[in-house]
A and B are shown apart, each in its own frame.
Chain A
Amino acid sequence: QKEVEQNSGPLSVPEGAIASLNCTYSDRGSQSFFWYRQYSGKSPELIMFIYSNGDKEDGRFTAQLNKASQYVSLLIRDSQPSDSATYLCAGLDRGSTLGRLYFGRGTQLTVWP
């Protein structure tokens, strides 16, 4: 059973601060990881994906992957109240040529003005 562990939070940061979201995963064979943002009552929206060790930056978001430690993180710089949502970390279980996602329970982030 492949698992992703996330701190459910809630994580609360002031506007303009850096929010740091973390997850660990159980399957050392997983190569690809995804961060989704989910607003209350809505569906998950892809923020970033990362395949390689190290950092990947996209605007205010930076994803980090450390395969040796089986650790994935998402940093949100200059946090805005509109970033308040649940952030889901997911790994890709590639059983064959097709992959399926396995998710953590999500971390609830609140950015207060």
Chain B
Amino acid sequence: DAGVTQSPTHLIKTRGQQVTLRCSPKSGHDTVSWYQQALGQGPQFIFQYYEEEERQRGNFPDRFSGHQFPNYSSELNVNALWLGDSALYLCASSLAGVEDTQYFGPGTRLTVL
């Protein structure tokens, strides 16, 4: 049973650049949620995708955008990167209407220089 996968594992970017992170949900899951975890903090909810639409959004600027594909995989895009975007980006998958539990992928460590 394939768990949640994310790519890349690590990424280094410079200020002003754009980045795309990818996530494939656990087998059988249809909902993908993205979280940002800064060092020493708990994860913060960015947004959530279900049926290829953004369903909920946390307190993040429009520089953060996403997409979900028909196979339930998802992308997180961040434009105009700044130093404060350096964090661990986590993808979590779940099954809408059946199970509340969210399972996390290994994360992508983004460093902005």
Contacts and interface: CB of A to CB of B under 8 A. Distances in A.
A82 interface: no
B90 A98 contact: no
Interface stretch (B12-20, B63-71, B76-84, B95-103): B95-103
A104 B48 contact: no
A96 B104 CA distance: 21
Interface string A86-104: 0010101011111111111
Q: B interface, by DSSP: helix, strand, loop or mixed?
A: strand
A59 B49 CA distance: 34
B43 A101 contact: yes
B45 A102 contact: yes
Nearest to B90: A43
Nearest to A88: B42
A99 B100 contact: yes
Given A95-B56, A100-B56, A45 B42 contact: no
A98 B42 contact: no
Contacts of A46: 101-104
A90 B43 CA distance: 9
A13 B88 CA distance: 28
A103 B48 contact: no
27 contacts: A32-B100, A34-B102, A36-B104, A43-B88, A43-B104, A43-B105, A43-B106, A44-B90, A46-B102, A46-B103, A46-B104, A49-B100, A88-B43, A97-B97, A98-B50, A98-B96, A99-B100, A100-B33, A100-B45, A100-B56, A100-B58, A101-B35, A101-B102, A102-B45, A103-B42, A105-B40, A105-B41
Interface of A: 4, 32, 34, 36, 42-46, 49, 88, 90, 92, 94-106
Interface of B: 31, 33, 35, 40-45, 48, 50, 55-56, 58, 88, 90, 92, 94, 96-97, 100-107
